[in-house]
A and B are shown apart, each in its own frame.
Chain A
Amino acid sequence: MKVTIDGIEIDVPKGTTILQAARMIGQEVAPPTMCYYSSLKTSGGYCRTCIVKVTQGSAANPTPMPKPVASCRTEVMDGMVVENVTNKDVLEARKGVVEFLLVNHPLDCPVCDQAGECSLQDLGYGHGAATTRYEFPRREFERIDIGKYVQLHMNRCIMCFRCVKVAEQLTDNRVHGVMHRGDAAEISTYIENVIENDFSGNVIDVCPVGALTDKTFRFKSRVWFTKPVDASCDCKKCSGKVRLWMKGEEVLRVTARKDQWGEAEEFICNTCRFDRKKTSDWKIEGPTKVDRHSVISQNHYNHLNELKVQVLKQQKALGFMDINKRP
């Protein structure tokens, strides 16, 4: 199936979503995501950051779709034409979504362990407005510990539901979920209870913000002062393929290996994540190739490749400001 995204055509198999197709083209045209996670079934569609405009439904039925669609949950049709970064309305709508996501966010980045690898930070930086128009008190919840190793800081949650899907799809007894509704909705166990499960730590990796953080890493270091190293071990519970975040010879944190979209390549078990904190526990494979997701990579991917030039040319023709330049 042929689909054109921001003027760039690509051939994709049937069943591919617009988002997947855009990712195949490259990060220049890939919509940002907050709730979609390719390895979690039924994820996506909620946050609305990946919305795009379909200007031609398909070759057979060229009618444009009346409303912007969530690219992560919309399958491409043959001959579909999609506008993302070349459509001003889409960028304006996305700015609106970012503002909504930030309305109740505490913006406590200076003391948040997620800072530096937070999807909301990246999104706000790339797509948000510089000031807030929200003047009311923000929603507040008590911090709670869910299990020995995980802290839930509900104030920061943006309701992506990934952690619930992880528990539902990776473990056999989900004990936390979404309580209440509307802007009073919260992620909770409801009962004072601990999450005790070999894979519960993965909720930390899938959380796009600092709502679920690793207590063993709490206030140990800013992430950009730690060095990512790929390592592995013989683990009975999981693949044992992890990423160590080191300072000198010290292992401060263990996470799954994440791809360029910030998604875990393979989920890891709690033993690997929380209990193997010595270098001698691991076989070091070498320094991680820096991905797009982290601030550490800032200077590594900003080069102007051919795709970028192509997109910028279109934007210029449409009278766009360079969205990557800040005033």
Chain B
Amino acid sequence: MSSQVHGAQKFDKAKRAETVFSEEAMKTAQTIISRYPEGKQKSALLPILHLAQAEFGGWLSPETMDYVASILKIRPVEVFEVASFYTMYNLKPMGKCVLEVCQTSSCWLNGAEDIVKYIEKKLNIKVGETTKDGMFSLKVAECLGSCGTAPMLQCGASYHENLTYEKVDAILETYKNEGRLRSYTDLDYKNTL
């Protein structure tokens, strides 16, 4: 998993002290926590990690995870265990737009490999890498549930389906011009482009 890290990580106490949700994010977090019975606030961990990833630059640093643990009143190790289990949490810094190209059966049958090669060539990076300007990271993903509209890629909350090289060009162009971090939690998702 290209976005994962192995071995023990450094922990920066100063950085941890600066890691605090904005007022709005905190409100969202409290709403999420309120969905679960008293004492079961750990259940909110997955959604809150998504929130934290979007709030703190598109990845989960050890400091961010430690902060999340403090909000949910659980041990930091429980957060590390969970965050590293799931594929959507980046444990190292990524580009602002993480392009995840599905590569499983139906997408493969419809040319996913060619789409990956095309993006690699166009952005001059390999799968698992980030462009020098920090704009794009390229990943491959396992089945994203878009088999009937293959090939496809996901970027943040948006599904881009029935991909052609021209469509890829348009997506990259648009995102580059917008120039902002794209997260799974974005409200302005688009699944046509």
Q: Are A178 and B81 in touch, CB under 8 angstroms?
A: yes
Q: Which parts of A152-201 form the interface with B (CB within 8 Å)?
A: 173-181, 184, 186, 188-193
Q: Are A180 and B85 in touch, CB under 8 angstroms?
A: yes
Q: Which residues of A contact B11 (CB under 8 A)?
A: 191-193
Please tell me if A142 contacts chain B, counting CB pairs below 8 Å: yes
Q: Are A184 and B7 in touch, CB under 8 angstroms?
A: no
Q: Are A144 and B7 in touch, CB under 8 angstroms?
A: yes
Helix, strand, loop or mixed for chain A's interface?
loop
Q: Are A177 and B81 in touch, CB under 8 angstroms?
A: yes
Task: Quote the shortest CB–CB distance from B142 to chain A (angstroms).
Answer: 12
Q: Which residues of B contact A177 (CB under 8 A)?
A: 77-78, 80-81
Q: Which residues of B contact A193 (CB under 8 A)?
A: 8, 11
Please tell me if B6 contacts chain A, counting CB pairs below 8 Å: yes
Task: Quote the shortest CB–CB distance from A30 to chain B (angstroms).
Answer: 32
Interface size class of B (residues with CB under 8 A): 10 to 19
User: Among the listed B4, B10, B75, B84, which residue makes an inter-chain contact with A174, where contact means beta carbons less than 8 Å apart?
Assistant: B75
0/1 string, A115-143, CB within 8 A of B gives 1: 00000000000000000000000000110
Q: Which parts of B1-57 form the interface with A (CB within 8 Å)?
A: 1, 4, 6-11
Residues of A within 8 A of B (CB-CB), count: 20
Task: Quote the shortest CB–CB distance from A193 to chain B (angstroms).
Answer: 7
A178-B81, A180-B85, A181-B85 given as contacts; is B6 within 8 A of A191 (CB)? Answer: no
0/1 string, B74-88, CB within 8 A of A gives 1: 011110110011000
Q: Are B77 and A189 in touch, CB under 8 angstroms?
A: yes
Q: Within the assembled complex, what's the spacing in Å between the Cα atoms of A186 and B7?
A: 9
Task: Quote the shortest CB–CB distance from A158 to chain B (angstroms).
Answer: 18
Q: Which residues of B contact A180 (CB under 8 A)?
A: 1, 4, 6, 84-85
0/1 string, A182-224, CB within 8 A of B gives 1: 0010101111110000000000000000000000000000000
**Identity of the chain B residue whose Cβ is nearest the Cβ of A172 in the assembled complex:** B75
Please tell me if B62 contacts chain A, counting CB pairs below 8 Å: yes
Q: Are B85 and A188 in touch, CB under 8 angstroms?
A: no
Most chain A CB within a 10 A radius of its CB, from B1, B62, B77, B80: B77
Q: Are B84 and A181 in touch, CB under 8 angstroms?
A: yes
Task: Quote the shortest CB–CB distance from A74 to chain B (angstroms).
Answer: 27
**Identity of the chain A residue whose Cβ is nearest the Cβ of B7 in the assembled complex:** A142
Q: Within the assembled complex, what's the spacing in Å between the Cα atoms of A193 and B9?
A: 9
A177-B80, A180-B84 given as contacts; is B75 within 8 A of A190 (CB)? Answer: no
Q: Which residues of B contact A179 (CB under 8 A)?
A: 6, 80-81, 84
Most chain B CB within a 10 A radius of its CB, from A181, A189, A190: A190
Q: Which residues of B contact A173 (CB under 8 A)?
A: 75
Task: Quote the shortest CB–CB distance from A189 to chain B (angstroms).
Answer: 6
Q: Are B9 and A191 in touch, CB under 8 angstroms?
A: yes
Q: Which residues of B contact A191 (CB under 8 A)?
A: 8-11, 62, 76, 80
Q: Which residues of A contact B7 (CB under 8 A)?
A: 141-142, 144, 188
Q: Within the assembled complex, what's the spacing in Å between the Cα atoms of A174 and B85?
A: 18
Q: Which residues of A contact B62 (CB under 8 A)?
A: 190-191
User: Among the listed A176, A184, A186, A192, which residue makes an inter-chain contact with B9, where contact means beta carbons less than 8 Å apart?
Assistant: A192
Rank and list the top 10 A-B pairs by shortest CB-CB distance, nearest first: A190-B80, A192-B8, A179-B84, A177-B81, A177-B77, A191-B11, A180-B84, A181-B85, A175-B77, A142-B7
Question: What 11 additional pairs, Cβ within 8 angstroms, besides A174-B77, A190-B62?
Answer: A141-B6, A141-B7, A173-B75, A174-B75, A179-B84, A190-B8, A190-B76, A190-B77, A191-B8, A192-B9, A193-B8
